[in-house]
Each structure stands twice: as C-alpha cells, then as structure tokens.
Amino acid sequence: MADLNIQNLTKKYGQVVALNDVTLSIGSGEIVGLLGPNGAGKSTLLKIIVGILRPTSGSVVLDGIDVLKNPESAKRIIGYLPENAALYTGLTVTEFLQFVGKIRAVADSDLDSKISEALKAFDIEEKKNSLVGSLSKGTKQKVAIIASTLHEPRFLVLDEPLSGLDPKTQRFVNHWISSTAEKGVTVFLSTHNLDIAQDYASKIAIIDRGKIAAVGELNSLRKIANAKYDAKLDDVFLKLTSESS
C-alpha cells in the first residue's frame, strides 16, 4: 500500500509553465485517472512523481518518502510506464526482461520464474524468444508493462497505457490494471479513454493548462461542472477544460 501527497507543484520549461501550483493526494489502493487535453501537463506531472524530472518548486511525498530528496528509495516502490516506452529492440523478450530485472535488483533466484509467470499472465509466452523489435504494438506494450512491474511496485504510474492499442488489448490491460489495484497497488494513470476512467477509477483528476481543474468521483465532478445528474464523463470533461472553447 502506498499513498501520495503532491503539494504546490510548479514546473516551468523556460517560459512555458507546464504545471502551475498543483496540489493532489492519492490514497492507498486507489486508482486515480488523470485526464486532460494534449499539452495539459500530464506527462510532466507523472515524470516528477517518479523522480525523473525535477519541479521548479513544490513537493512530492510517497509513502512518507520525499521523492525529490530520496529518489532512490522512492524508485524502489514505484513502477513507471512511460508514454512511449523505449525498449531494447535487439534483445529477445526474455533477455530484455532479465536485463530489467537485474537493474531493478530482483533476486536472481526469482527472476526466471517471475518472467515466465508474467509472460503467461499476459498471454505472450510464445513470444519469449522473439526480438522485441519484431513485436506488434500491443505485445510491446505488454512487455513494457511487465518490465515496469517485475520488482513488484506498490505504486504504479502509467502514462497513457492504452494509447494505440487495439480494443482486445485495451480490455486486457484494463482488467490487469483493476486486478492489480485489487491486490493493494495504488495506481495513478493518465488516459484519454473516458470510459476506462469512468468504469475503473475511484477518483478522477482533470488537469488543464497546468492546473488541476477538478478532482473527485464522477458525481462530484458533475456538480462542479453544473452537468446533469446522469451526464457522461466526456460531457463533464468538456465543460471543465478548454476543449469546450
């Protein structure tokens, strides 16, 4: 279990204010969906949380660990799936996962069994000796997800995990996300898939031009947006972001 507290986070890239005083907290075991138009600051926020980008100001505390002061300790309990995961295309799936497992300090005695269990769970056992570069987009994404979780993180950060996937693989990844959360892993994911956010997330954060426009369950977002009691999330989303203008 892991909880996250983000306070007054600001990130400037030169003149561009990518995040503007973001404050947000996520409870242990929650699935929180981060929604926002392109360029809203989603990837920037997630990169700061996982400790690969430094904010201009503000703090991020994960499970009592200050991510900015102790990035190494924080990284041990975090799994991160980047927006466009770069995989080593010249390695086989097994070689790549062994490499990641070693970097992540997974015990040698456990590594092979963990890899074969994961390949089975993701239904890609038959690809174990295929070169990563030869895989379909969906299989690559499954390998990237396995790579991000081999060290059994308690906190998962997924940047648009469904993007570019066919419907069957999307459904697979969705089920995997919800069953991972059921095991007690906290999940923070950015997505453009409003159905998924509506169906799986315990809470939704809407970010627009670097600011959190609203946070809550769908019902409270409907109220904030002055939307009808049965409004779908996409209507609420459009009301709360600049996409409506």
Q: Does 78 bind ligand ADP (CB under 6 A)?
A: no
The one-letter code for the residue type at 104 is R
Instruction: Find which of Mg ion, ligand ADP, none residue 18 binds, CB within 5 to 8 Å per kind.
Output: ligand ADP
> Rounded CA gap, 7 and 69, in Å?
15
Instruction: Find which of ligand ADP, Mg ion, none residue 153 binds, CB within 5 to 8 Å per kind.
Output: none
Given the rule CB under 5 A, which residues bind Mg ion? 42-43, 83
Q: What is the dihedral of CA 114, 117, 122, 124, to 10 degrees?
A: 100
Instruction: Find which of ligand ADP, Mg ion, none residue 32 binds, CB within 5 to 8 Å per kind.
Output: none
- Minimum distance of Mg ion from residue 156's CB (angstroms): 17
- Comparing CB distances to ligand ADP, the nearer of 18 and 150 is 18
Size of the site for ligand ADP (CB under 6 A): 11
Strand positions, DSSP E, 104-200: 155-159, 186-190
End-to-end CA distance of the chain: 40
**Any idea which residue has 């390949």 for tokens?**
119
DSSP code of residue 86: -
| Stretch 1-40: interaction string toward ligand ADP, x if CB under 6 A | ------------x--x-x-----------------x-xxx
Contact 77, 153 (CB under 8 A): yes
Residues that bind ligand ADP (CB under 6 A): 13, 16, 18, 36, 38-44
